[in-house]
Structure 1
């Protein structure tokens, strides 16, 4: 979608405007043939009145042909508009996906998966309805009254003015009903969204609700949102009820028909209107009124489309990560990682999440990041793959600034295992092959064995072809984590970022995960975000972060001897490990460090 065009509901149709115009032309032409059929019917009746025994076969056949053509044109108009709507869905979703692929992952996280899913799925679907249904209605809403008015003026200008007067009265009433409409529509949609948010919160928080407040507070918020929505609708209905009902009643075809019937009879009684003309006016005179209801529906579709377009534009306006030109891109020379004076802010006016951070991770070494909660450990790890770009300084992978590398080269150098695993709904094998789609079954199984996952996969009903379910729902947390590790092993990238992959592991799975990580870490440059300090005792270097700054740097024993922040964190960790329900029960032995296992011979 061209973001330079006006943010109008019609601008969104630009990619399929030719097909939409064709659909609108068909709809307008269908309206013309419908009115011609009525006019020819009046001619048939006139001929029968003049010569009762002489059937006018030619105009009768014309009525049939015009009626069939009007029907076929209307059907084809809706077919074309629906084809255009399906094309527009595909185009918009493709453009949104391509744009989001160029946006930083940090920005995507800021927007949120739920909001993006609503834009890509729901808002694009709203535009499908808008394009598919509104464009034929639009053509009919304008072509019908215009052609009818021309025909009425040609037949009898007095009856034409009477029909226009009825519609003018209806429009005055509707304008009173729709005063302050823009503000009311805004408040209406805001109230609806509050109800939707309250419903989602109430349903998703059901386990917490039942545990803590039996639903009283949460349901109270839901009930308050409903009452607010109902109160607004009641107020709007009362304000617009009288004028709205009057307008709908007058814009109905029956009042126009009644006025034309009465006025035509009076003019005929005075012998200033012949019967056949009056009959023709009665048959086609309601064409203007009949087009008003589709026009009212069109306003509603436009309002919904405007909201959807605003959200789509907001996503499309999200800034993309700057990409280096292919001819200026550099490729990494080795598996080293360097931070040079790196500073980073999530918001331009916010506090620094990382400040003046410098360190070097030599190829094949293990660097651990530790610190209190909120120290910036995960932020540092996610600056490596350009989830965000640094505010100051630079991050070098293989001696090259990550901003001067092609995205494919950077992703080919670094693999990740985070504590929050994600699996697609496809098969286990497809999830392991992610990023290496051409990998053989033998390679997939070898990676699964190294990740300590082969045994449980083979025990599944369809083995490697077993479907993981949405977000891996059919598997346990430890199983999902080992499949994620198998995926990283299969990718075989020289730099590995681990955001404490064993943080949520139960005792049964922790040893298997540690063994899997040891296989994954062999020979790689590893950046390990550590929450369990036992996992980093044997790291080549430990970076101790505090409020985004490097507080200490060294190996485990040296940092303990130094007696600084790391020593305090370690002593707190030891006390936590020693705590038991029964003072006489000895604490359990923690699982060995993956760094130590990685150094052991296979």
Structure 2
């Protein structure tokens, strides 16, 4: 089967900034509504919480009104027999009030926490989908903030906003109807107060949105800078730059403090406004009710009931306005999460299944051109070369020549802008990404080790590998000897970022992973660069055996690595300058010789 021609618009997944600006033209309600799909299958739980919350508040309204009526009748001298019926009603309301209160809080929080767990899973799935293009343009601390802090922030919306909002829309209506039944003028006084109270968050909406965005952005930047500082402590100490870094953290801390202060001042103004309006509303009902009692238009026993009902009508509205002070921050978190979830992937599956039959590990680059962004010059241009099954090709060139780009295009971290990359005659876009990656193994120059045992780090190459298979891979990678000298052997924890391992040890663990995966195509980004001479020779022998029968692409800098390759492809300014064996290129005296001469310090006799 020949490779298929694909049309691909490149660059859709690039050009993201480090923070997401507020979305102009979108109201706060619209931005918050974007969170509703995240509830998914948990909407029913939220619905139960709504119902429980509304019923709880209506019963609370009824019990408060009944209690006020009992007090008023007692003050008028009513007998115990006359009050017994009302007291029995109050007693019967206690159990439903407790049950509904528990149900409201429990179901709302269970739904919220389940939705948060699902959202976290979607965020991490987005990280995987967008890697590595989107990830390279975002700081790890900022992404960590999106995965943790922003997701936690939306709990306020799910657990403390939706149900209270339903209550705030129901209880004031019921209260207004009850006061109108007492006397129409009481309802007329209460309605404008409630509307005015509910409008307070809108007064400072613009400032709230700006403060919310600045607060979330400041937290993200602070998290990113803190992560950089923790990971770079060795370099800071080594170069005596800790005071300089501390100055940056202080600057970010000051920015965060300023954002919090602005947020706090605005919240204080809203608190003062809502409390004042609520008190004035209760006072208005109190004064009007007293006048109605004096005029004989309102029964004395209903007067305290009216005042209590007016106060109860304010409470759910006050609760919502209190939560609303934080909703601008929630909306900013929602924007960041949705930006991540909606970001177009650098590549996406174009087919649902891999080509039928056995795929021959024959790699071919056919006039490949690739540009990372439309405003940048091509990273590679019209690059053509192939790697036959079982052959090792060394890709060499100056920094920025396009070596890593070629490896990334083969692994389909990005798609070509023009031309094609094929495996076994099939364009790499004719494979689902999972199937394509199953054919390949990457041994990077900078190895990442997880903070778990060395056994589990090696087993990353194949999760179902037995301990014996892990050990065999480690032996082949010349890692078994140093692992067995460690206090806990294969159960030794590598430390965060592999900090407890030397560079050479980390590299051998990476090679062991690759050997354990046993893929037919091997991509090595100068995999022996961190090894000493003795270890390099041993690992080179192991890799010679491992790459037998495999198609191997080596991004090489060391002469010792280049000389063992079957062929060498020299890249210069994104183009193929020369192709041939090490001896042929030396004899030609062209770009390859010039490259070796310019890097003479790196290609010493020790390397050879």
What TM-score, normalized by structure 2, do the two folds share?
Answer: 0.85
Cα offsets for 1:139-194 (capped at 9, x unmatched)? 23322322222221112233333444555665677765556543454455455555
Partners of 1:237 and 1:88 lie apart in 2 by 29
Alignment partner, residue 567 of structure 2? 541
Does residue 589 in structure 1 map to residue 568 in structure 2? no
Note if 1:93 corresponds to 2:120.
Answer: yes
Conserved? CA contact 1:559–1:567, under 8 Å: yes
1:447 to 473, 489, 498: 473
* Residue equivalent to 1:476: 502
Q: Return the offset for 1:99.
A: 4.5
Match of 2:132 in 1: 105
The worse-fitting range, judged by mean Cα deviation, of 480-489 and 59-68 is: 59-68
CA–CA distance in structure 2, aligned partners of residues 234 and 114 of structure 1: 23
By how many angstroms is 1:577 displaced? 5.5
**Conserved? CA contact 1:141–1:295, under 8 Å:** yes
Distance in 1 separating the partners of 2:606 and 2:35: 63
Whether 1:306 aligns to 2:301 is no
Tell me, yes or no, if the aligned pair for 1:251 and 1:292 is still in contact at 8 Å.
no
The answer to whether 1:356 aligns with 2:379 is: no
Deviations 1:468-500, CA, capped at 9 Å, x for gaps: 343333322222221221111122222211100
Q: 3-state DSSP class of the match of 1:322?
A: coil
Q: 1:54 to 1:74 in 2, by over 3 A?
A: same
- Partners of 1:69 and 1:221 in 2: CA distance: 56
From 27, 34, 39, the equivalent of 2:53 is: 27
Query: For each residue in 1:220-262, what CA deviation from the matched residue of structure 2 results, as whole angstroms up to 9, or x when unmatched?
Result: 4444445555566667877897x6465133144x444444334
Distance 2:271 2:438 in 1: 66
Measured at CA, do residues 464 and 536 of structure 1 come closer, stay the same or move farther in structure 2, by a change above 3 Å?
same
> How far apart are the structure 1 equivalents of 2:30 and 2:300?
52
For the structure 1 residues 290 and 239, does the alpha-carbon distance in structure 2 shift closer, same or farther, using more than 3 Å as the test? closer
Whole-Å separation in 2 of the counterparts to 1:450 and 1:21: 59
Distance 1:489 1:211, change over 3 A: closer
Q: Give the structure 2 partner of residue 597 of structure 1.
A: none
Which of 109, 131, 145 is residue 158 of structure 2 equivalent to? Answer: 131
The reply on whether 1:554 has 2:580 as its aligned counterpart is yes
User: How far does the alpha carbon of each residue in 1:560-579 deviate from its partner, in whole angstroms, 9 at most, with x for none?
Assistant: 2222221122234444566x
Query: Does 2:428 align with 1:402?
Result: yes
Select 2:209's aligned residue among 169, 176, 182: 182
Gap change, CA 1:540 and 1:445, over 3 Å in 2: same
Give ranges in structure 1 of 5+ residues lacking alignment. Answer: 1-5, 579-587, 593-602
1:76-87 alignment, distance < 5 Å: 76-87=103-114
Describe the shift of the 1:276–1:119 C-alpha distance in structure 2 as closer, same or farther (beyond 3 A). Answer: same
Alpha-carbon shift at residue 330 of structure 1 (Å): 4.3
Alignment of 1:457-476 (within 5 A): 457-476=483-502
Q: What's the CA shift string for 1:10-40, capped at 9, x where partnerless? A: 3423313222122111111100000111222
Pair 1:168–1:250, CA change in 2 (3 A): farther
User: Which of 13, 19, 27 does residue 36 from structure 2 map onto?
Assistant: 13
- The question of 1:370 aligning with 2:393 is answered no
* Pick aligned residue for 1:317 from 342, 354, 370: 342
Structure 1 residues 355 and 45, CA, compared in 2 at 3 Å: closer, same or farther?
A: same
Q: Distance in 2 between matches of 1:238 and 1:33?
A: 36
**2:100 is equivalent to residue 73 of structure 1:** yes
Q: Which runs of 5+ in 2 are unaligned?
A: 1-28
Query: Quick one: distance in 2 between partners of 1:109 and 1:418?
Result: 15
Deviation at 1:462, TM superposition (A): 3.2
Q: Partner of 1:385 in structure 2?
A: 411
Which of 288, 293, 302 is residue 313 of structure 2 equivalent to?
Answer: 288
| Preserved contact between residue 370 and residue 380 of structure 2 (Cα < 8 Å) | yes
Cα deviation code 1:525-580 (max 9, x no counterpart) = 211101222321132111111111011111222222222221122234444566xx
How many residues are treated as equivalent by the alignment? 575
Instruction: Give the conservation status (yes or no) of the 8 Å contact 1:323–1:403.
Output: yes
**Cross-structure match for 2:174:** 147
Equivalent residue number for residue 59 of structure 1: 86
Q: Aligned partners of 2:474, 2:318: CA distance in 1, in Å?
A: 63
Deviation track 1:77-110 (CA, whole Å, cap 9, x = no partner) reads 1111111112212322333444544445334434
- How far did residue 313 of structure 1 move? 2.0
Of structures 1 and 2, the one scoring higher in RCO (CA 8 A, sep 6+) is 2
Contact 1:330 1:406 in 2 (8 A): no
Counterpart residue number, 1:503:
529
Call closer, same or farther: CA 1:550–1:322 in 2, change over 3 Å: same
SS at match of 2:81: coil
Following the alignment from structure 2 to structure 1, what is the Cα–Cα distance between the partners of residues 480 and 219? Answer: 49
Could you say if the C-alpha distance between residues 165 and 397 of structure 1 is closer, same or farther in structure 2, counting changes exceeding 3 Å? closer
Aligned to 2:273: 247
Q: Is 2:441 the partner of 1:415?
A: yes
Match for residue 25 of structure 2? Answer: none
